[in-house]
Copies of this chain bind each other. A is one copy, B any other.
Amino acid sequence: MVGIAVLGAGRIGKIHATNVASNKSARLIAVADPYASAAQSLAGALGADAMTDCEAAIDRNDVQAIVIGTPTHTHISLMLRAVRQGKAVLCEKPIDLDMAKSLEAVEEVERLNGRVMLAFNRRFESTFAAMRAAIDAGEVGEVRQVIITSRDPGLAPEDYIRHSGGIFRDMTIHDLDIGRWLLGEEPVELTAMGSRLVDPALMEKYDDYDTAMVQMKTASGKQCHINNCRNAVYGYDQRIEVFGSKGMLLQDNLRPTTLRRWTQDATDAREPLLNFFLERYQQAYKAELDAFIEALAQNKPLPTTVQDGLKALRLADCAVESVNTGRAIRV
């Protein structure tokens, strides 16, 4: 039985806390959030202690593992505090928006042999996982090209855009991780393109982009393309294609039902997509949490590490540099 404290009682904290509560090898000890009412309401519903001091939650003797779902700028200090006490951590992405700080934190984690899993939830989604398994089983032979389509249903609020670190660090970064993971090799070269097509004024204001493309290549020549947009009217668009020497794997979107409509105007029409990541990756969040706890319970290596976080951030930084310089960047 692993005693767990969840830090952060926002929407992502809620998901993690609920999943902890339903995992049979774990016990939800505490939910901590400076907003007392948020902590109270979430902890109360799940029969855990509510706390307002995240550090105190880390320090508890009955807590062996920490799930960090607090704002990005708090990740490093909470993570390191837990690691220093020998506690395992599942931390939401990214480690930090700043590369130098992230690097320093990773070095500290590794010096201390800390057990920190970065929350790349998509890797645990059933179709993503089936894709990786099919590649491992040799079904497509040698991977040649990975095509990732990833578009949000709607523009995030200005407040989010202001602090997001830009499209490459807040949105593309998930796809860069999936790209690395499916290529099975590290990208060594990357080019990116950014446009302002959804809300040019807002993007201009924050020196950001709402529409982007990235292409990258590994040392052996495997290629990956990513396309992003902050707004797709038909819903949260998440598709992947893995093309190899023996075949291809395609992943489609999820919809609420399998219904298809036939009318005078159209045939075979399906419903709009599940709206956003909380619905789309609901199963993935649970599988991710279960994998974390299983690794702890069975003393196995964690499925993702802070190095994964660092590498994804490094690729995002290269994308920013590529847009700024108009060059392919050596990673």
Contacts and interface: CB of A to CB of B under 8 A. Distances in A.
Majority-rule SS of A interface residues: mixed
A126 B259 CA distance: 9
A217 B192 CA distance: 11
A196 interface: yes
Contacts of A257: 126-127, 130, 251
A247 B234 CA distance: 6
A270 B254 CA distance: 14
Interface in A303-331: 322, 326-328
B223 A193 contact: yes
Copies of this chain: 4
B147 A149 contact: yes
Contacts of A225: 213, 215, 225, 227
Interface range on chain A (Cβ under 8 Å from partner): 35 or more
A248 B270 contact: no
A241 B259 CA distance: 10
Contact of A261 (B134, B217, B237, B271): B134
Interface stretch (A63-71, A98-106, A138-146): A138-146
A297 interface: no
A272 B261 contact: no
A299 interface: no
A315 to B, nearest CB: 15
Name, among A198, A241, A267, A272, the residue most crowded by chain B CB atoms within 10 Å (CB to CB): A267
Contacts of A231: 245
A268 B223 CA distance: 22
Interface of A: 126-127, 130-131, 134, 139, 142, 144-145, 147, 149, 151, 189, 191, 193, 195-198, 211-213, 215, 217, 220-223, 225, 227, 229, 231-235, 237, 241, 243, 245-273, 322, 326-328
The 4 A-B pairs at the shortest CB distance, nearest first, are namely A195-B221, A269-B269, A248-B262, A127-B257
